[in-house]
Amino acid sequence: MTRDEPGSAAATGRDETPQERADRLWGEMLQEVRVTQTGAQILFGFLIGVAFTPRFAALPDFDRNLYVVTVVLGAIATGSLVAPVAFHRFLAGHGMKPELIHVAGRLIALGLVTLALTMSAALLLLLRTATGDPALSWVLSGCVLLWFTVTWLVLPQMVLHRIAGRRRDRMPR
């Protein structure tokens, strides 16, 4: 990597070697995933417990199927968010940190998407049960999923696009 490549010291404003950069990025990823990992695990544990409540047996078929989908999404979210730890444990010391960062980043992104879907589906199930109004439940759950999409995906892309535009404007022509 030369100093002028994206991610290089010139582009990031840091004077670090590729290995130092990989170490820093890995530490940052672990800090980021720590919060979502815990939240996903708590949500998944709660979802598992729902099936053992007396009211669960009285749920209509649609709600039972929605519950199954929600639990499966929760399992995928939890697994995706925990996977980077397993990767690190098995691959540490093999000089593969840049590859590990790439794969872990994809797994974390998958975990965030499935966590948003899990939370929205769990909200839909809860609202269908609590309000008794299926249409309102779908609208509210859809609004929450839209909120996750905007705040977790769209806004970061907008910021990235804005920063890229500023960098292009500063480049000599």
The 10s digit of each residue's pLDDT in 87-117 is: 878 877 787 788 888 899 999 999 999 999 9
pLDDT tens-digit series, residues 26-73 = 888 888 888 888 888 899 888 999 889 888 888 999 999 999 999 999
The tokens describing 111, both together, are 């975990």
The tokens describing 145, both together, are 């999923």
Q: Please choose, from the candidates 138, 157, 158, the residue with its C-alpha nearest in 3D space to the C-alpha of residue 146.
A: 138
Asked if the model's pLDDT at residue 3 lies above 60, the reply is: no
Query: Cα dihedral angle (161, 162, 165, 170), rounded to 10 degrees?
Result: -140
